[in-house]
Structure 1
C-alpha cells in the first residue's frame, strides 16, 4: 500500500510535527482571551477573526486526524479497509478573501501556512489513494508481486 514504510512513516511524522506547531501558533493567534486582541476592536475584524479562526482550526484538526489515522495504519491499528473507509481527508474550504483582508499580516500568514500544509497533505492523500487503487486491481497486484520478487 505504501512505497516504503520507513519513508512513509518519516513523511507522516514530519508533517504531523509541523501541523502541531502550526496548530499551537494558530490557537494563540485566534484566542480571544489573550491581551493581543483588544476589546474595542472593530466588529468586522472580530467577525473575520471568528470566521477564519474557526475555518483555520477546523482545517488543522482535519489534518491532524488524517495524520493520526496514517500513524495508526502504519502501527497496524487500522486495516487497509478501515483506512480507505474512514481515513479520507475532507474537501478543503479556502479562506474567504473579504475576511482575510481584515486580518493582520501575521494572522493572514498563519492561515496561508495552514492552507499550504493542507494542499500538501491533500496530495499525499490523493497519491496514496491512487496507489492503493492500483494495488487493489489484479494487474496492479501482480505488478507489485513482480516488483517485490525482483527487488531483492
Structure 2
C-alpha cells in the first residue's frame, strides 16, 4: 500500500483515515495531550539544565555514564512525541493536510522494551521524568496506531527478537 492510499483507506463506518486525523487534531483529547507533552518537554529541559546538571556532578563515574545514557533516552523519546504532536497541530491549524500527515515518515517509532534505568544511583528526578515520558510515549504511540494503522494487521511476535532482547538486557546488568 503506498502512502497516498493509506490516507484514503476507509475505516469502520466508511470514514476516511484523513477525516479521522482531522477530527483528532480538533479534539479536546489532542489539546490535553499536546499540552501535557509540551509541558513535559519544558520540565525535562529545565530539570536537565538545572537540578539534573548539579546532581550529575555528584555521581560516581559509572552512575554519571548511566545518567548520560538515560538522559539521552529521555530527550530522544520526548522529541519523538513532540514531533508527532506538532504534526497533529499543523493539521489542526491548516499548515499541513491530513492526507500528508498520514505519510509513514510522520509515524511514531515503536519503543524498544527496555530494562529499568541502568544504575541504582540515578537521581530520582531523572527516574520520575523517564517514567512519565515512557507513559506519554506509549499513549501517543497508541493514538498513532489507532489513527493511522487501525486496519493494518498487528505484526506477529518474533521469538528470535524476543530472545535477543532478553540476552541484551542480561548483559547490560
TM-score range, shorter chain: 0.7 to 0.9
User: What pairs with 1:127-146 in structure 2 (closer than 5 Å)?
Assistant: 127-131=146-150
**Structure 1 residue 81 displacement after superposition:** 3.2
List runs of 5+ in structure 2 lacking aligned partners: 1-18, 153-173
* 1:33-79 deviations in Å (ceiling 9; x for gaps): 86632534201111111111111111111101100101111222222
**Relative to 1, partners in 2 of residues 1:17 and 1:98: Cα closer, same or farther, differing over 3 Å?**
closer
1:11 aligns with 2:29: yes
RMSD: 2.8
User: What pairs with 1:64-75 in structure 2 (closer than 5 Å)?
Assistant: 64-75=82-93
**Structure 1 residue 2 displacement after superposition:** 1.8
**Equivalences, count:** 133
User: What pairs with 1:101-140 in structure 2 (closer than 5 Å)?
Assistant: 101-131=120-150
TM-score by length of structure 2 reads 0.64
Q: Which moved more, 1:38-47 or 1:9-18?
A: 38-47
Given that 2:91 and 2:98 are in contact with CA atoms closer than 8 Å, whether structure 1 keeps it comes out as yes
1:26 paired residue among 44, 47, 56 = 44
**Relative to 1, partners in 2 of residues 1:97 and 1:34: Cα closer, same or farther, differing over 3 Å?**
closer
TM-score by length of structure 1 reads 0.72
1:84 paired residue among 99, 102, 106 = 102
Q: Which moved more, 1:53-62 or 1:34-43?
A: 34-43
* C-alpha distance in 2 between matches for 1:114 and 1:104: 16
